[in-house]
């Protein structure tokens, strides 16, 4: 079956580009002596997690326990959960995972540390801990050297835990500065950060310049998207996922309506450009702007486009943010040279717990 025979809207993934993206990132990591620990949040597919491991990845990254459970079920055996887990229910699930995979977790607070300790105790085997620090994202992560050291010491003093190192997102100049300041203090405690995990596809090509970082956590690179184009981290030929859609209405000369709305493309905007840049790029009509989305409708402004798609025409949309697109779909289509290879359930989609 050709991808052009598929009913729309449908996310179509080019396997050649996926393989090229996996190989290129692994080569970058290998060239610079970085461990690569891909984030599965972008693809959410055991098949691609295994392909990343086969290419040389050191393990995978998951954001939530549910994702890790799907990956462990599929045989992935070395998993970092890069999100603070808190509470007895999470500890029980983490313990069950630790019984069948090498687990590591990021913590930035004492309750997350206690949860990891409880899990390790239940599992009867140590769980690795990375202390997360904030390098400017203002998200999770301790914001001071003192808080990081306090957590490090608490990890060291908890028999069921193993101090593995540090983590941040993204890797940047502030990362290097934090590492420079904390390194002698960690040494003074008689400890060592074997792993310093940094991340982010947008700036991945500079990861090796951040002194002290040993591991690269990247997810988006496997598909890429419009945000990665804007960040200069990918070219159009590196973009592996397109949404195929149909023009279902042409109410006026300067407006086309697509059958893909926020349930298909998500509402994420480009950091620069915002609404003016639209909710995705029409690959064959680059001057058309997807200016609004309803849940099922994509409203396209054609007023600045010389050409216009006809009623009933199929069009290809490059999403702004591909990770949230795969999360919306129950299935994705894998294709090679326009021929359908397989249709896969997005096994780890929607697993927010």
Binding site for its own copies (CB under 8 A): 7-10, 41, 63-64, 83-87, 89-90, 108-112, 134, 138-143, 246, 248-252, 255, 257, 259-260, 262-264, 266-268, 294-297, 299, 311-312, 323-324, 327-330, 350, 352-353
Residue with smaller CB distance to its own copies, 67 or 164: 67
CB of 32 to its own copies, least distance (A): 26
CB of 52 to its own copies, least distance (A): 19
Distance (Å, whole) CA 43 – CA 264:
15
Is residue 9 reached through a cis peptide bond, with omega within 30 degrees of 0 on the bond before it? Answer: yes
CB of 312 to its own copies, least distance (A): 5
- Compute the radius of gyration of the chain from its Cα atoms: 22
Distance (Å, whole) CA 326 – CA 348:
10
Residue with smaller CB distance to its own copies, 90 or 226: 90
CB of 138 to its own copies, least distance (A): 7
CB of 84 to its own copies, least distance (A): 4
In terms of Cα–Cα distance, which of 203, 190, 201 is closest to 163? 190
Distance (Å, whole) CA 75 – CA 69:
10
Residue with smaller CB distance to its own copies, 56 or 136: 136
Residue with smaller CB distance to its own copies, 114 or 341: 114
CB of 31 to its own copies, least distance (A): 29
Residue with smaller CB distance to its own copies, 33 or 330: 330
Distance (Å, whole) CA 51 – CA 89:
31
Order of strands across the sheet that contains 215-217: 35-36, 215-217, 195-199, 161-167, 127-132, 102-107, 78-81, 60-62
Residue with smaller CB distance to its own copies, 17 or 41: 41
CA dihedral 226→328→250→287, nearest 10 degrees, is: 0
CB of 4 to its own copies, least distance (A): 12
Q: Which residues contact 224 (CB under 8 A, 6 or more apart)?
A: 21, 201, 233, 234, 238, 239, 240, 241, 322
Distance (Å, whole) CA 198 – CA 214:
8
Residue with smaller CB distance to its own copies, 153 or 353: 353
């Amino acid at each position: 079956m050709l991808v052009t025979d598929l009913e729309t809207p449908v996310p179509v993934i080019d396997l050649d580009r996926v393989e090229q993206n996996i190989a290129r990132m692994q080569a970058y990591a290998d060239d610079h002596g970085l461990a690569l620990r891909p984030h599965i949040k972008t693809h959410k597919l055991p098949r691609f997690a295994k392909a990343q491991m086969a290419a040389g990845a050191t393990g995978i990254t998951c954001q939530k326990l549910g994702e890790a459970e799907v990956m462990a079920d599929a045989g992935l055996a070395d998993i970092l959960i890069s999100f603070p887990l808190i509470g007895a229910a999470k500890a029980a699930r983490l313990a069950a995972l630790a019984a069948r995979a090498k687990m590591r977790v990021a913590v930035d607070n004492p309750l997350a540390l206690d949860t990891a300790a409880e899990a390790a105790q239940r599992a009867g085997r140590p769980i690795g801990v990375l202390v997360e620090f904030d390098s400017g994202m203002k998200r999770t992560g301790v914001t001071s050297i003192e808080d990081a050291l306090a957590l490090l010491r608490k990890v060291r003093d908890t028999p069921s835990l193993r101090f593995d190192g540090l983590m941040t997102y993204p890797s940047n100049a502030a990362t290097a500065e934090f590492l420079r300041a904390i390194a002698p203090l960690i040494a003074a405690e008689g400890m060592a950060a074997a792993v310093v995990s940094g991340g982010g596809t947008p700036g991945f090509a500079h990861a090796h310049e951040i002194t002290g970082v040993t591991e690269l956590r990247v997810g988006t690179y496997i598909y890429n998207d419009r945000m990665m184009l804007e960040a200069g981290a990918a070219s159009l030929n590196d973009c592996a996922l397109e949404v195929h859609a149909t023009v279902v209405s042409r109410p006026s000369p300067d407006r086309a309506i697509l059958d893909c709305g926020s349930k298909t493309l998500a509402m994420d905007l480009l950091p620069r450009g915002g609404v003016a840049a639209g909710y995705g790029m029409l690959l064959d009509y680059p001057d058309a702007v997807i200016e609004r989305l309803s849940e099922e409708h994509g409203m396209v402004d054609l007023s600045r486009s010389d050409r216009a798609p006809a009623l009933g025409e199929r069009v290809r949309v490059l999403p702004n943010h591909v990770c949230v697109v795969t999360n919306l779909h129950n299935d994705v289509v894998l294709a090679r040279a326009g021929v359908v290879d397989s249709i896969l359930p997005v096994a780890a989609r929607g697993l927010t717990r």
